[in-house]
Amino acid sequence: MKLLNSLIRKSLPILPKSLVGMVAKRYIAGISLEQALRKVRELNSQGYIVTMDVLGESARTLSDTLPPVTMYLNVLDAIKSSGLKANISLKLSQLGLSIDPAHAWVQFSRILHKAKAENIFLRIDMEDSSLTDATLNVYRKAREIWPEGVGTVIQGYLHRSLDDVRSLMAEGTNLRICKGIYKESPRIAFTDKEEVRRNTIALITEMLSAGQYVAIASHDLQIIQSIRDFVTEHQIPRDRYEFQSLLGVPIDRTLKDLLNDGYTVRYYIPFGTEWYAYASRRVLENPDIGGYIVKDFFTFWQK
């Protein structure tokens, strides 16, 4: 199976989109809003809370930024009208940050003000390092409008992240801490897996020690156990943090154990037509992907 996994990773750029799609359904909640809402209801019924994300990033033209804004407004309406235990997250490049920051702010503001009116928390996702400063600028500007309703993300693999966390904590903040997935230069990012793990844990414990809200977004079992040990030892109140996981990542048993032990657990639920880039990243990082493809292939032909 290791050989198959390696072959799939190397062949991914030339694999038919349909083959990637066979596995993508593990990681996305569907193409339509209705499909995503069904998944949210299912997870809510099991005790999980949810973050909904409209897939897409790096808009090529300003007109490309308009459909996702409309969809986010519809998502917010659906969360409110259905009484779902859910919030939203978005990528600013999807709204044109790389093309025209002023335009991106206008589009983002439409979503921000709708979220504020509906009292639904909004998380600004972090992207590659070329957008880190611009994303934090938007986040700080958004907090001036709704300080308690907006959060962002800090990535454990960047050298700068501890300084960013401390700077943001001085202002008051709500952060999701994750390892990070974009390919970055060793000049600015840790490349050793253990270094990334240690730095990610350090960022999380820094926030927990300061009493500021932190979302622990990891499927690394060592990180999860380290944080469980830390919050137990330091008696950190459970309303100061939550555990988060991506849909489809194979740690369901661990998440269920966390939920049964009284921790808050949130699933990240992406959906939409722009699924290919997201699913491809999940394929590349998942060591068990070969088995999923084989299983899905035979399931498909048995139908």
Residues with a known catalytic role: 125, 176
- In sequence order, the 6+-apart residues with CB closer than 8 A to the CB of 228 are none
DSSP string, the chain: -HHHHHHHHHHGGGS-HHHHHHHHTTT---SSHHHHHHHHHHHHHTT-EEEEEE---S-SSGGGGHHHHHHHHHHHHHHHHHT-SEEEEE-GGGGTTTT-HHHHHHHHHHHHHHHHHHT--EEE----GGGHHHHHHHHHHHHHH-TTSEEEEEETTBTTHHHHHHHHHHH---EEEE---S---TTTB--SHHHHHHHHHHHHHHHHHHT--EEEE---HHHHHHHHHHHHHTT--GGGEEEEEETT-S-HHHHHHHHHTT--EEEEEEESS--HHHHHHHHHH-TTHHHHHHHHHHHHHH-
Is residue 167 within 8 A of residue 161, CB to CB? The reply is no
